Amino acid sequence: MTRIDDTFARLKSQGKKAFVSYIMAGDPDVATALAVMKGLPAAGVDIIELGLPFTDPMADGPTIQLAGQRALEGGMTVDATLQMVRDFRAADQKTPIVLMGYYNPIYSRGVDRFLAEAKEVGIDGLIVVDLPPEEDAELCIPAQKAGLNFIRLATPTTDAKRLPKVLQNTSGFVYYVSVTGITGSAAAQAGEVGPEVARIKRSTELPVIVGFGINTPEAARTIAGVADGCVVGSAIVKEVGAGKPAADVLAFVADLAKGAHSA
């Protein structure tokens, strides 16, 4: 049982949906990003997705691409990202952290070294968007053996033939991408998402969390209402990118969390 598993078990016993938030490590600088990260649990965030900055984020829209560029220009590295998690864990041993990004920085560091370090600092799961199930031996299976959840994305184009392959080594939760395309590109629609979530849940006992295209408390409520919870990323990153102080970003997050938890 990981922190992620424990969190979903607790939420289920309480009859609550999960609210997951995404921020980019080191955006716009380490101090601000860490202040926001430390405040997320009190703002109602159940699981934190922490972006690992990368130079070629092909699945991300302009908002998150710019966040990654700001972080990299500020000197953010894999080491600094791991240290950010370590600093967060000094005061919070409960909130799950999922590191989200691309395989290149992990491969460059060395899979075994990276997984050992990730486990040591307190990372609970990975979302690596450019590693398909056919490459599970690269990272997915080693990550599971190291005690980390490996969370896979399902999309509107994941058909009945493909879905079992996507689910076969997934753990923690399934991340359903509500729209085709990049992050921040369109609004999620509960009427379209609901049947897809139900289809996935017929094939797995894992929670299904919906992300992409959620940017208001009402959207968080309606999408969480047809799933086990929702993820908000670009809308939060946009607040950071606008130069707002951590307290204002966290107030925005708290409103989103209330929406999700009211589902």
Residues annotated as catalytic (active site), given as ranges: 49, 60
Number of neighbours of residue 149 by Cβ within 10 angstroms: 22
Q: Are 219 and 188 in contact (CB under 8 A)?
A: yes
Q: For residues 50 and 78, give the distance between their C-alpha atoms in angstroms, rounded to a whole number.
A: 12
Instruction: Give the residue among 186, 227, 194, 172 at the shortest CA–CA distance from 18.
Output: 227
What is the phi/psi pair of residue 102, to 5°?
-125, 160
Cα 241 from Cα 235, distance rounded (Å): 10
| Alpha-helical runs (H) found in 40-159 | 62-73, 78-89, 103-109, 111-121, 140-145
